[in-house]
Amino acid sequence: MSQSSVSSLPPGKIPVTIITGFLGAGKTTLIRHILDNAQGRRLALIINEFGDLGIDAEILKGCGIETCPEENIVELANGCLCCTVADDFVPAIEALLGRDTKPEHIIIETSGLALPKPLVKAFDWPGLRTRLTVDGVIAVIDGAAVADGRFADDPLKLAEQRAADPSLDHDNPLEEVYEDQLLCADLILLNKIDLMTDAEQAAVTGAITQTIPRAVKILCTQEGRIDPRLLLGLAAAAEDDLAARPSHHDGEEGHDHDDFDSFILTLPALADPTAFIGRLITVAEAFDIIRIKGFAEVAGKPMRLLVQGVGTRFQQRFDRAWRPGEPRGTRLVVIGQKGLDQTAIAAALR
């Protein structure tokens, strides 16, 4: 990390970077890249996930990077940081600050459904603002999903629904979360450009620029591969600048995640992982599943299989060997919009 990138930070305050972005946009992949390129900088991570399996922290703990040992990775699973700031987040950050060796920079990965603004607000609290500053809010965008219209209301479907129920609230819950994340950002990473044409990149960049009222830099990335010096050291002091970050939920006390459902699917060891991924793709499409992720046991294999699905796009790789005594099996988190048919999905995959 160059001195110039950190010298502009307020003296004595530990910088905090908040990484936001919708489910599956590439936040964990980006953080992995930052850890791999930390150049000796002592980092701590706070990882928040929707669904209670704690997959992201597991992936990152597996990195074995010296500057971010396992005890510097704090996991806040099964909740949404934006709703549990006082109960979960503040004690977690206090614990990090209480360490003998304090981190030089803290990175927070919010859950894909979290609104970043309530978290930024917490840094304005007297107990935190004297010791920490929000160096920047980085929004990671799944460019391919945006280009596919994943976050926009389908005008035809909406017209049909409105005809049946004229009082229908037209807000697409995905769009609302996506926009709140963009509106809070100091820097936007248009990720997954390998899945986009140049014309799509230009169209999505234009649409983002129209959505946000202030000028925010947009950088294109593939698998979060970007020099961390462009990410850490923004010196945005976002906690001083809340008014410039409008939210769909301004003025509300809190918000709920009733628009989304999640459950854990438990299965025995897989005999044929390729066939299983094929079934996952079919099921993800049939039930409009937003996100599936977890680890699978494959019969006869000593390694565990990391399974990642965003919409109908799936990836799998063996990430490490099962540890002696570690419970094996296949456990996947499934996340979708409210009304997800848990029974039918489980039946289709068993």
Q: Which residues bind ligand GTP (CB under 6 A)?
A: 21, 23-29, 56, 112, 191-192, 194-195, 222-223, 291, 293, 308, 310, 315
Give min distance, CB of 299 to ligand GTP, in A: 23
Nearest residue (CB) to ligand GTP, 106 versus 189: 189
Q: Which residue lies nearer to ligand GTP by CB, 20 or 133? A: 20
Least distance (Å) from ligand GTP to the CB of residue 277? 12
CB-wise, 105 or 192, nearer to ligand GTP? 192
Minimum Å gap between C-beta 308 and ligand GTP is 3
Q: What angle do CA 345, 315, 276 make, to 5 degrees?
A: 40
Give the nearest residue (CB) to ligand GTP. Answer: 112
Task: Compute the least distance from the CB of residue 74 to ligand GTP, in Å.
Answer: 15
Using the minimum distance from each CB to ligand GTP, give the nearer residue, 5 or 29. 29
Nearer to ligand GTP, 53 or 237 (CB): 53
CB of 292 to ligand GTP, least distance (A): 9
Minimum CB separation of residue 53 from ligand GTP in Å reads 10
Least Å distance, CB 163 to ligand GTP, is 34
Q: How far is the CB of 349 from ligand GTP (least distance, A)?
A: 19
- In the bound state with ligand GTP, the residue whose beta carbon lies nearer, of 51 and 237, is 51
* Residue number with CB closer to ligand GTP (9 or 77): 77
Could you give the C-alpha distances from 111 to 67, 81, 188, 350, in angstroms and in order? 24, 7, 17, 28
| Structure tokens that stand for 160 in this block | 């049909």
Q: Which is nearer to ligand GTP, 23 or 231 (CB)?
A: 23
Distance CA(192)–CA(230), nearest Å, equals 18
Instruction: Encode the chain in three state secondary structure.
Output: CCHHHHCCCCCCCEEEEEEECCCCCCHHHHHHHHHHCCCCCCEEEEEECCCCCCHHHHHHHCCCCCCCCHHHEEEECCCCCCCCHHHHHHHHHHHHHCCCCCCCEEEEECCCCCCHHHHHHHCCCHHHHCCEEEEEEEEEEEHHHHHCCCCCCCHHHHHHHHHHCCCCCCCCHHHHHHHHHHHCCCEEEEECHHHCCHHHHHHHHHHHHHHCCCCCEEEECCCCCCCHHHCCCCCCCHHHCHHHCCCCCCCCCCCCCCCEEEEEEEECCECCHHHHHHHHHHHHHHCCCCEEEEEEEECCCCEEEEEEEECCEEEEEEEEECCCCCCCCEEEEEEEECCCCHHHHHHHHC
Q: Residue 69 Cβ, how far from ligand GTP at the closest point, in Å? A: 21
Nearer to ligand GTP, 136 or 294 (CB): 294
